[in-house]
Amino acid sequence: MALFSNRKRDKTVVPSAADGSKNAGLEAQPGTAPLISVIIPVYNSMPYLTELLNSLETQDLAAEKFEVIAVNDGSTDFGDEILDIYAKRNANFRIIHQDNSGWPGKPRNVGIDHARGDYVFFCDADDRLGSEALRRMTSYATTHDLDILIPRMVGIGGRRVQQGFFAKTRPEISLEFVLASLSPQKMIRRRLIEQHQIRFREDKVRLEDGMAMVQAYVAAERISILADYDYYEIRLRSDGQNISVGKIDPAGYVASLSHIARTVRNHTQQDAAYTRRLMAGLFTRKALSFYEGRRFMKYTPEARQAWVDHHRKYLDEFIATDRETVFNPARLVKVELIARGDLAALERLATGEIEATANPVVEKIRAADSTLEVVLTSPAGAPVPKALLFEDRESKTTVNAELVATASHTYVAKFAHHALIAQIPRLGNALVHYSETDRRRISLPEEAGEVVHGGVRVYRTAYGYLSVDTRKAQRG
């Protein structure tokens, strides 16, 4: 969802509820509790907010069976007015206006306090739901008597999701499995939330959603993943205002991670081996990613040192010994360096990763009567390249050529003009194929210019990559 700031709301809040917030729309009706309460913290989420509200308005679940509780956290982008419009035309939409709290925790808690459904479902205001989502989710949850349901998520706007996590429906999953997902987009039995007094942290702290989710996980008897439909579309905002892309403070982040780990450990401590495995899984997912080459080296030297210092404390508390039993060999190298506080060695590893994963670079392009020849260099630490290919941007069909080594890390590939024209009807991207999971774009230096031969144009894109244009050749 959007970044929350500490700006004050321009309008005067007119109290009408016990918490002093201003309400619009549905008031609680005894005896008419819905199946599900959809809780949405809203702060400056236009124009995406209307997409979410439209997707809720068009749900095929009967309106009396669900309620929407949108908590406007002092928006200044007319989102408050949009919310009130939707509330006027939908009897099951309730809007709560409050001064800006600075973070999504408080509006989520306010939503919980006002919820009447058997289940609550947390949405972010810049995402959207499939039109059948609520009906399918409530039907599955009630049929299987679930405490927590995790609906399949898909990314929009370039947002990445865990494909493997949502690969199939899983009627019952373990704590170890569910810890791979700490985001709040879950449907949780409201009685469980109330019995265990689960609430979100309201101060500006990272992983506040993960801390609340883990409280629910350890209290739940049955958790399922429902993956038979695209239930939830999670967005990467084009304006860069997702909270997840903001600056992260190492001390606060690792403190939150440690809080999550303690919650888990308190629940599983009777099985020491299992607990250690869970602690290692959390560290793998929520700590080691900061040490990926480019990401780590983008931090200042002071920030890199801070990450190492705080992650070292985590290891000392939760996995002080026998780390080789819970980390694979590749990860163990970094883990042991962190445990020793060896920043210099971690920086060398990161630099090596950057070099090994760099893009190949064109040295020269030569055109003959019926062929196109590309000479390139491959990064020193990269695997041996298998082929150079041109991939059509629309159909994804490819024209492949073997890469022949001519010197250390230097290779040449030859393409027949007629093959390019036949398989690439318009535009194609050039890539080096290293493996099924490693295909890299090819950098073309600006000074290399472009080559046009036989109607085939080989050129540099705006982002500096090698591409081919066969449109002139197609016209003859």
> What pLDDT, on a 0 to 100 scale, did the predictor assign at position 256?
97
Greatest CA separation for the chain: 83
CA distance 119 to 61: 14
CA distance 296 to 149: 35
Same-domain pairing of 256 and 236: no
Same-domain pairing of 417 and 442: yes
Whether 4 is in a domain gets the answer no
Same-domain pairing of 364 and 439: yes
Same-domain pairing of 345 and 460: no
Structure tokens at 276: 């250690």
Same-domain pairing of 470 and 429: yes
CA distance 371 to 373: 6
Domain of 194, CATH number, reads 3.90.550.10
CA distance 441 to 127: 31
Same-domain pairing of 53 and 165: yes
Domain of 398, CATH number, reads 2.60.40.10
Picking from 305, 340, 355, the residue at the C-terminal end of a domain is 355
Picking from 355, 378, 405, the residue at the C-terminal end of a domain is 355
CB atoms within 10 A of CB 44: 23
Picking from 244, 263, 292, the residue at the C-terminal end of a domain is 244
CA distance 313 to 158: 34
Closest listed residue to residue 4, CA positions, set 201, 225, 178, 149: 201
CA distance 108 to 71: 7
Give exposure, 295-317, as e/b (b: 16+ Cβ within 10 Å): ebbebeeebbebbbebbbebbee
Whether 100 is in a domain gets the answer yes
Whether 277 is in a domain gets the answer yes
CA distance 469 to 445: 18
Give exposure, 201-224, as e/b (b: 16+ Cβ within 10 Å): bbebbbbbbbbbbbbbbebbeebb
Number of domains in the chain: 3
Whether 97 is in a domain gets the answer yes
Region label for 415, one of left (φ > 0), alpha (ψ between -120 and 50) or beta (otherwise): beta
Hunting for tokens 């449907």 — which residue is that?
Answer: 187
Same-domain pairing of 116 and 35: yes
Q: Is 209 assigned a catalytic role?
A: yes
Active-site residue, from 73, 80, 209, 469: 209
Name the residue type at position 319: I
Whether 7 is in a domain gets the answer no
Closest listed residue to residue 237, CA positions, set 40, 3, 54: 3
Same-domain pairing of 257 and 367: no
> What pLDDT, on a 0 to 100 scale, did the predictor assign at position 277?
97
**Domain boundaries, position 300:** 250-355
Same-domain pairing of 302 and 286: yes
**Would you write out the chain's pLDDT as a tens digit for each of its 476 residues?**
333 333 333 332 323 344 445 555 545 455 579 999 999 999 999 999 999 999 999 999 999 999 999 999 999 999 999 999 999 999 999 999 999 998 999 999 999 999 999 999 999 999 999 999 999 999 999 999 999 999 999 998 888 888 899 999 999 999 999 999 999 999 999 999 999 999 999 989 999 999 999 999 999 999 999 999 999 999 986 554 544 445 899 999 999 999 999 999 999 999 999 999 999 999 999 999 999 999 999 999 999 999 999 999 999 999 999 999 999 999 999 999 999 999 999 999 999 999 989 999 999 999 888 899 999 999 988 999 999 999 999 999 999 999 999 999 999 999 998 999 999 999 999 999 999 999 999 999 988 878 998 889 999 999 999 999 999 888 76
Whether 10 is in a domain gets the answer no
Same-domain pairing of 292 and 381: no
Same-domain pairing of 443 and 349: no
Same-domain pairing of 219 and 256: no
Instruction: Please report which helix (H) or strand (E) contains residue 55, including its range.
Output: helix 48-57
Whether 11 is in a domain gets the answer no
Whether 57 is in a domain gets the answer yes
